[in-house]
Structure 1
Amino acid sequence: MIRSSRDGDVRVVTIDRPDRRNALRPADLDALAAAVEDATEPVVLLRGAGDAFSAGADLDVVAALDDPEAFARRGQRVANAIESADPVVVAGVDGAARGGGVELALAADVRVATPDATFGEPGATFGLFGAWGGTVRLPRVMGEGEAMDFALSGRVLDAAEANRTGLVSRVVPDPATVAHEIAGNAPDALGVLQERLRDRRPQSTQEDAEATAFAELVAAHRDDLQELTE
């Protein structure tokens, strides 16, 4: 079950299946993508109910799959929806993130953890691996060496080590504070920064786009800038 609510300028999207550590079934994946894509606020805070962020794919579902590839593709579409969303998506990890839960967090623009957060990719311990885009995003976020160690060992990282490896950017008591901090900034600047930081085209192309976007923001905020200099 996916719950969606508004908290000021932040859309809070909660994976709400605490009795199963917020494990995701196909319908949950579809609902999660819709909740993120339908958000009109500048920031989405993605979190889990109870004592876990998400255990990832529901293994009861995985064990009974007739078409495992289609299920993987479904998860990839959700992660891509998070990664390409117009709002800034903040993954607020409190408690356990495992497998697909880590992969969904990897797709977010910002990942923060509480001191109680833990992260693990346990798939290799029972003959699988995360296939919701995790093998693509994990080395981008952690670097290839840390990603290899994390995924191949199946070990669990606590919040401090997740911060050290770059898996999360901060350890905070309440991830909502980070979401509201970001939401307090100019929405058009947030959108431009997202676009620029996500851009993986050649450097010269990125620099051209950067200069154009900067000029457009200066024109849009000229009055505000003049007030700052007075």
Structure 2
Amino acid sequence: MIDVDIDADRSVRTVTIDRPEARNALTVGGLESLEAAIEAADEPVIYLRGRGPAFCAGADLAAVGGLDGDRDRAVEFARLGQRVARAIEDSPAVVVAGIDGPARGGGLELALACDVRVGTAGSTYGEPGVTFGLFGAWGGTVRLPRAVGDGNALEFALSGRAVDAEEALRMGLISRIEDDPRDVAEEIASNAADTLAVLKGRIRDDGERATQERREAQAFGDLVEAHADDIDALLE
């Protein structure tokens, strides 16, 4: 269900959700495999995509139905999805979501955990859970307002509507529209790997401001030391 491909220079790990017959909906096993693929990465960039005409439809409805209304099992399932989203967010690699076709529910939530989200012109986005009495519980209620603001997040989640790529771009759900989103992953991977990891860590830092600034200065010092020869070459 999860296919991993590593490019020749080991700069980009492509992780593909490979269940096109179910629009790449994720079962418990699929979530666990996705988590393992992310955590095993030692490349500076991970490119996350779906196989076929959808990015990811989110949780497999059969898996949700199989919970049989058991509250404790439902909580456990939600916590698993949250854990996978955190693995994406906390990975030292920069994770780029390449979104083609629908990203729905948990699929959108996993994309929101990525560092960069790039959609094709044919990509669409939605949180339809409210239309059948549920909502995405893989961290979406935390990350969605961070991406689009409280007002947009509320309207989007409460209506259950889908938006196209242009509206997703205006809202902040994605940062770019490209024919081939992998080009963005390769563009990012062309930069210094240690600097990518430091920048991700600094921008993701949720400590209080003084702590963030101290860590930022220390990280800058580390990079100046590590790249002294490169800096000298620029000055020649």
Aligned residue in 1 for 2:32: 30
Q: Residues 26-65 of structure 1 correspond to what in structure 2 (within 5 A)?
A: 26-65=28-67
Mapped to 2, the partners of 1:201 and 1:39 lie a distance apart of 26
Mapped to 2, the partners of 1:204 and 1:113 lie a distance apart of 35
Query: Which ranges in structure 1 are unaligned for 5 or more consecutive residues?
Result: none
Aligned residue in 1 for 2:188: 182
Task: Decide which of 142, 166, 186 is 1:160's aligned counterpart.
Answer: 166
Task: Decide which of 1, 8, 20 is 1:18's aligned counterpart.
Answer: 20
**Can you list the C-alpha shifts for 1:91-119, whole angstroms capped at 9, x where unaligned?**
11000000000000000011110001000
One-letter identity of the residue aligned with 1:4: V
Task: Decide which of 195, 200, 219 is 1:194's aligned counterpart.
Answer: 200
- Residues 57, 103 of structure 2: 8 Å contact kept: yes
SS at match of 1:162: helix
Aligned residue in 1 for 2:126: 120
Mapped pair 1:229 → 2:231 = no
Mapped to 1, the partners of 2:63 and 2:207 lie a distance apart of 38
Kindly state the Cα deviation for residue 7 of structure 1 after the two structures are TM-superposed.
2.2
Task: Decide which of 85, 94, 106 is 2:100's aligned counterpart.
Answer: 94
**Can you list the C-alpha shifts for 1:19-42, whole angstroms capped at 9, x where unaligned?**
000000000000000001101111
Deviates more, 1:6-15 or 1:28-37: 6-15
Mapped pair 1:7 → 2:7 = yes
Query: Which ranges in structure 2 are unaligned for 5 or more consecutive residues?
Result: none
Aligned residue in 1 for 2:226: 220
SS at match of 2:55: strand
Mapped to 2, the partners of 1:29 and 1:108 lie a distance apart of 15
Mapped to 2, the partners of 1:62 and 1:220 lie a distance apart of 49
Q: Report the TM-score, using the length of structure 1 for normalisation.
A: 0.99
- Aligned structure 1 segments of 4 or more residues deviating by more than 6 angstroms: none
- Residues 92, 201 of structure 2: 8 Å contact kept: no
Kindly state the Cα deviation for residue 6 of structure 1 after the two structures are TM-superposed.
1.0
